[in-house]
Structure 1
Amino acid sequence: MTDEIYETPSTTPNFRTELAAQLAELVPEAIADGKVDVEKLKELLDDDVADGVERFGLFWPGKKRAMRAAQEPTTATLKPDFENSKDWDTTKNVFIEGDNLEVLKILQKHYHAKIKMIYIDPPYNTGKDFVYPDNYKEGLDTYLEWTRQVNEEGKKLSTNADTEGRYHSNWLNMMYPRLKLARNLLTEDGVIFLSIDENEVGHLRQMLDEVFGESNFVAQLAVLNNPRGRAQDKHFATNHEYVLVYSKRELPSGALSIAKPREQLEAEYPYEDERGMYRTLGLRNSHREFGRFNRPNLYYPLYVDSDGQVYTEESADRTEVFPIWNDGFEGCWTWGRPKATAESESLVGRVAGGRMQIFVKEYAEGARRKLKSLLSEKEHTTDSGQRAFNDLFGGTGKIFQAPKSPFLLADFVEAGTGEGDIVLDFFAGSGSTAHAAWLAQLRDGGARRWIAIQLPEPTPAGSVARDAGFETIADISRERLRRAGEAVSADLAAEQSLDSGFRAFVLTDTNFSKWKVSSDVDRNQLEQHLFDLRESSSADDASTDDLLTEILLKQGYSLTERIAPVDVAGLNLRSVGDGIVLAYLNEHVKPTLEQLRAVVDEDPARLIVLEDAFQGDDQLKTNLAQLCKSKGIELWTA
């Protein structure tokens, strides 16, 4: 990288390096010869350092390796899947098919501290549902090999049976790096909800205490998910599970409240005017220790006309009212005369207790309620979730078993987010969380954006899902979201609109050959790799959109940028964000200096040119760099 040309990074952020840099900024004394001096750091922290022998926390075999898995950068990228998308050009929602560990790393660059809420329903470690392919050395290769096996031979990973020697450790090693990465994505006031049952709830809570901080524990909710109970259980018929809630930082009281349902509002707010439903509270101070004797400025007459409208000015057709109790005690108002004059439209007069009294209108607008720690409504159950799913698929057999209730998750989404916020689910399953984000908009009018990540876990051969044409769980999820978007759109008020689409992506290896080789490759492989690079540094089957998506991700752009093809001086480019970025990614057609001059004259903030497009012409590259510098344009290569 020179002062004039920026090179697109080949990997996601290296968190170990970034952490060391943060320490160097915060505690420069602890850095010696470019490395962190751990002993010096302990010396500086002194009494705040935990005893090295007796430590409190959750420990298990493989924990250090799991932490390294979260910190290890990846060259992986996402490939646009136009065929499986809906409303690609306009939607702000994203569905990603792939291993969530790799995808969470890919999201770090742009979505760091941008996700307001995360909900996940991970495998519960029952001995039957552990399917995530983790190999800490090979990373993406393991995932790609697994998906090829699925496509070609129909193979499926073995479950995490409780007869395994490290049954709990295997599950913890799967969860730990994902939660570490997930926390990075949350906004400072962000929150995470995690469903879990009794198999791992204790371990998960300890892990979350470590990852998020014990002080950021919000709640452990109990959900009545199966009112009948599981008859096959050994001692008790279990009919509930848990939802653990943690925040990125400590939240203020009431931060996770939700709007009261219409039927409750109608009961509590029995009156209505052009502004909306309201209830009335007495304007007269209800405490007799305050009255005309010690609050004379709050003792004054108000006047009510035949329609109940309140005034501070006297008139022949208006009834005079003082804050007098039924026994004659001269009380006082809670408002002074200036406020009563300015806000008289919020006052109403009517006869109560045999005499005219003045009341303040309290509107239902903004009325909130806290969720209960025991969620036992019928719409919260698994049966409700199954019905909601089956209704979308015409009531056919169980294509997906026991999906989470989208109405339960809509409570969480409504509590944890608002207009314009992003919701993430990286164990998407059938897509209940994304469905819930739409339902939340149906309730409060706030349009959320969502990102859903799902492993392409194959459906069982001979299952209802496979017979219906769904090869993987990801296939089911995408189809559910197409149908749910249409269903919710139909229920919206005429003046509202729903972003019922989504951009689909698939996890894949980098499109750039020069980024694929690791540092421990053997000599023969390296020689072959260098030979291959003579031909091209990008994959032959990579489209312009594939290359652009990877470059934008690694430069820190979102997955929903507006992208359009444009022609400038005979060059086919891609415009990002209405021309903020222009990209030329055709390695087969070398541009002339005059063509590049025309591109620079379009005055983008950033210009991206594929390195191979210069075809070894360093002079052309240097001239372009000077043109960009003269116009204040960032020039990036890849």
Structure 2
Amino acid sequence: MGADPGPWNTFIEGDNLDVLAAVLEGRPDAVPTEYDLIYLDPPYNTGNDFAYHDDFKGKRGAGAAGRHATWVDYLRPRIEAGHRVLAETGALYVSIDDHEVAHLRLLLDEVYGEANFLAQIVVNLNPKGRQLGRGFATSHEYLLVYAKDAARCVLDASSAHTVVEGDFPLEAPDGRRYRRLPLRNTNKRFNPLSTPTLHYALWGEPATGRVATAPFDGAVEVKPVFGDGTPAVWRWSRPRVDERPDDLECRVVRGARGERVDIYQRDWRHPVGGRRKKLRTIWLAEEVGSTDTAVAELKDLVGHVFESPKPTGLLLRVLGTMPDDARVLDYFAGSGTTGHAVALANAADGGRRTCLSVNSAEPTRPGSNAERAGHATVSAITRARLRAAAERVGGGFAELFVE
């Protein structure tokens, strides 16, 4: 086991540009200077008046185009600073809505490179849809996902939690569930000309299902072919077939050209090392939670003090795509969902993730639930939640300061 990573959650109050600059300079010493995962939920530009503290040298024009440009001007240096502290094998997730998704994607393409774009995920955070206003009842936001370097990124876009029993309809005599996958490679780019070593004969007996690389009593010769009868190749080499004959099955199948004998892989529900399933690019509220469930879980910890937090289920799915010792950074920490999710994930699987949350001392709205509860700033909510999560879930909490 490696060295103690310290508290699972660390919080710094301050302008995120100043904090990121300090991180790059190695101050404070208690936080990493490089992160494996960055999650951001920046302030959305909804088209209403908004104010940022940045003193832009050149003010943008009025109207929608000016608002978009001002929003991008605000976000650009923060995206660039995050890129500098992201590990070469790391990944970035950014939540955003329809108002700025197009502009944000162009900005991320510019900073991260189009080749490092991984996904634009639709997240169904409001399954009932927003009923106020004109037009459609919007029920989704987006997650934009980028790698620092797609060729080296360790992100695994799959999850053990999306594997369901119904995906494996067959049952072996010993009770194990499985599904059949063609041993033949169904991609016509792989054929006897491109991969000749994988075009060879197997021997199988449909009555028993037995498969071998050499003839045996009752067996018939089986060569890989496409549905139109043209030669194909297997997905497994001869040595692999010899190593795992019990994971193969010979069957009679009926196709457009009549009956034929073919070889299938038994793909087990619980293989050695566990089963994961590729994540789709639409994440439903029933899978990751909704704004309503997010408000409820925050209320359970510190009260009803934030209008639109993200659900921990969303962040748990994001965390599940990265190693369980990931160094996580959220420098638009809001209500502290990311740090809370890190604590929940570590408690659930024994992981050693750590999270640095950064938030500014932006005043809460006068007369809001947060102000009435005694939280004068949004950062006070972040701090309260992370402390409460540490008390309830464990892992500890530390607050650091940047001069």
Same fold (TM over 0.5): yes
Pair 224,367 (structure 1): closer, same or farther in 2 beyond 3 Å:
closer
Structure 2 match to 1:192: 92
1:602-621 matches, cutoff 5 A: none
In 2, distance between residues paired with 1:255 and 1:386? Answer: 29
1:95 to 5, 11, 25: 11
Corresponding residue to 1:268 among 167, 172, 178: 167
Q: Which runs of 5+ in 1 are unaligned?
A: 1-87, 138-161, 326-332, 490-498, 510-638
Q: CA separation in 1, counterparts of 2:177 and 2:348? A: 16
User: What's the CA shift for 1:89?
Assistant: 9.0
Matched, 1:389 2:298: yes
Distance apart, 1:215 and its partner CA: 3.5
Match 1:279 to one of 179, 184, 189: 179
1:248 aligns with 2:159: no
Q: Distance in 1 between matches of 2:5 and 2:88?
A: 30
Q: Distance in 2 between matches of 1:211 and 1:285?
A: 38
Higher RCO (CA 8 Å, separation ≥ 6 residues): 2
Contact 2:5 2:352 survives alignment (8 Å): no
Q: Are the structure 2 counterparts of residues 410 and 123 from structure 1 closer, same or farther at C-alpha, using a change threshold of 3 Å? A: same
| Structure 2 counterpart SS, 1:175 | helix
Q: TM-score, normalised by structure 2?
A: 0.70
Secondary structure of the 1:191 match is strand
Alignment CA distance shift 1:450-1:278 (3 Å) = farther
Q: Is 2:178–2:267's contact at 8 Å kept on the other side of the alignment?
A: yes
CA–CA distance in structure 2, aligned partners of residues 230 and 285 of structure 1: 46
Please point out which of 450, 463, 486 is paired with 2:368: 463
The counterpart of 2:305, out of the listed 399, 407, 412, is 399
Contact 1:384 1:405 in 2 (8 A): yes
Q: CA deviation at 1:136?
A: 7.7
Q: Matched residues in 1 for 2:18 and 2:11: separation?
A: 15
Deviates more, 1:277-286 or 1:92-101: 277-286
Mark the structure with the bigger radius of gyration. Answer: 1
State the 1:204 CA deviation. 2.5
Contact 1:113 1:187 in 2 (8 A): no
Q: Is the 8 A contact 1:297 1:336 kept in 2?
A: no
Root mean square deviation of aligned Cα: 4.9
Letter in 2 for 1:173: D
Asked if 1:183 corresponds to 2:92, the answer is no
Q: CA deviation at 1:183?
A: 0.8
1:218-276 alpha-carbon deviations (Å, 9 max, x no partner): 333333333343344344443333333333234589955121425x3322235589998
Match of 2:333 in 1: 428
Per-residue deviation, residues 187-238 of structure 1 (Å, max 9, x unmatched): 2232222222333333333322322234433333333333343344344443
- 1:124 aligns to what? 44
Q: Tell whether the 8 Å contact from 2:161 to 2:276 is kept in structure 1 after alignment.
A: no
**Alignment-mate amino acid for residue 400 of structure 1:** F
* Number of the residue aligned with 1:11: none
Q: Aligned partners of 1:420 and 1:284: how far apart in 2?
A: 38
Distance 1:445 1:311, change over 3 A: farther
Going by fraction, where is helix more abundant, 1 or 2?
1
CA distance 1:261–1:273, shift in 2 (3 Å): farther
State percent identity of aligned pairs: 35
In structure 2, stretches of 5+ residues that fail to align are 193-197, 224-232, 255-261
Q: Deviations over 1:292-326 (max 9, x none)?
A: xxx99745578999xx99999999xxx9665679x
Mapped contact 1:93–1:451 kept (Cα < 8 A):
yes
Q: Deviations over 1:149-189 (max 9, x none)?
A: xxxxxxxxxxxxx8899644543332121111111111223
Task: Give, in whole Å, the separation in 2 of the partners of 1:236 and 1:442.
Answer: 40
Against the structure 1 CA distance between its residues 296 and 221, is the aligned structure 2 distance closer, same or farther, given a 3 Å change threshold?
closer
Question: Secondary structure of the residue that 2:166 maps to in structure 1?
Answer: helix
**In the alignment, structure 1 residue 218 sits paired with structure 2 residue 154:** no
Contact 2:88–2:148 (Cα < 8 Å) also in 1: yes
State the aligned residue count. 367
**Contact 1:221 1:242 (8 Å CA) reproduced:** yes
Q: CA-to-partner distance for each residue in 1:477-506, whole Å, 9 max, x for gaps?
A: 23323444566x5xxxxxxxxx63232113
1:70-469 correspondence runs (5 A): 90-110=6-26, 114-126=34-46, 130=50, 132-135=52-55, 167-251=67-151, 256-261=156-161, 264-270=163-169, 271=171, 278-281=178-181, 298-300=201-203, 339-344=240-245, 346=247, 360-364=265-269, 365-372=274-281, 374-378=282-286, 379-393=288-302, 398-415=304-321, 417-440=322-345, 446-469=351-374
Offset from partner CA, 1:525-563 (integer Å, 9 cap, x none): xxxxxxxxxxxxxxxxxxxxxxxxxxxxxxxxxxxxxxx
After superposition, the Cα gap between the structure-2 partners of 1:336 and 1:107, relative to the gap in structure 1 and judged at 3 Å, is closer
The one-letter amino acid of 2:305's match is I
Q: 2:185 & 2:102 partners in 1: Cα distance?
A: 51
Which amino acid letter does the alignment assign opposite residue 144 of structure 2?
L
